[in-house]
Amino acid sequence: MCWPKCRPGYRVQEACGELRSTVCEPCTRGTYTPHLNALRECLPCGVCDPGLGQVTRWKCSTRTNTVCGCGRGHFCERQDGDACIQCRPHSVCRPGQRVRDTGTEWQDTLCEDCQPGTFSAGGTQAACTPWTSFS
């Protein structure tokens, strides 16, 4: 009986036949296979792009792909499983707004308008400043 698959971290070097079983070979550095497979080539590891705000959370191994996350000041706009595939910079609040919720890796900054009688220059202020009156 022919079992044509290799275990995770390996690829098929020689397919099985009538008189021989499948010969598997380990994936080389920079490649991986996450499941039982009949692949002739291992899959290329992903690369996190710091220019897009990405950081490497887990490096690629022969059995797992690279997992990217978002660096400081960025949040994940699109993810694939545990990996973030698109990061965006946190929003900056406009003048007349304050930061209601500080941005995290998984959520953008949430801004809120200042209450009547208060103001802000915008940006990253958590509180609005009361107007002062001169008599």
Domain ranges of the chain: 10-44, 50-89, 97-130
Q: Domain 50-89 adopts which CATH fold?
A: Tumor Necrosis Factor Receptor, subunit A; domain 2 (2.10.50)
Give CA–CA dist 22/16, Å, rounded. Answer: 4
> pLDDT tier at 134 (50, 70, 90 boundaries)?
low
What's the confidence (pLDDT) of residue 82? Answer: 78
pLDDT per residue as tens digits for the range 79-115: 888 789 899 999 999 999 999 999 999 999 999 999 9
pLDDT per residue as tens digits for the range 71-86: 999 999 988 887 898 9
Buried b / exposed e over 84-110, threshold 16 CB at 10 Å, is bebbeebeebeeebbbeeebeeeebbe
What's the confidence (pLDDT) of residue 80? Answer: 81
What's the confidence (pLDDT) of residue 19? Answer: 81
> pLDDT tier at 21 (50, 70, 90 boundaries)?
confident
Judged against a pLDDT cut of 60, whether residue 28 lies above it is answered with yes
Q: In this structure, how many other beta carbons lie within 10 angstroms of the beta carbon of residue 70?
A: 26
The residue written with tokens 């009361």 in the block is: 130
Judged against a pLDDT cut of 90, whether residue 63 lies above it is answered with yes
* Fold match, 10-44 / 50-89: yes
Judged against a pLDDT cut of 60, whether residue 135 lies above it is answered with no
Closest CA to 60 of 71, 48, 70, 46: 46
**8 Å CB contact between 99 and 109:** yes
> pLDDT tier at 124 (50, 70, 90 boundaries)?
confident
What's the confidence (pLDDT) of residue 81? Answer: 81
> pLDDT tier at 131 (50, 70, 90 boundaries)?
confident
Question: What dotted CATH number matches 10-44?
Answer: 2.10.50.10
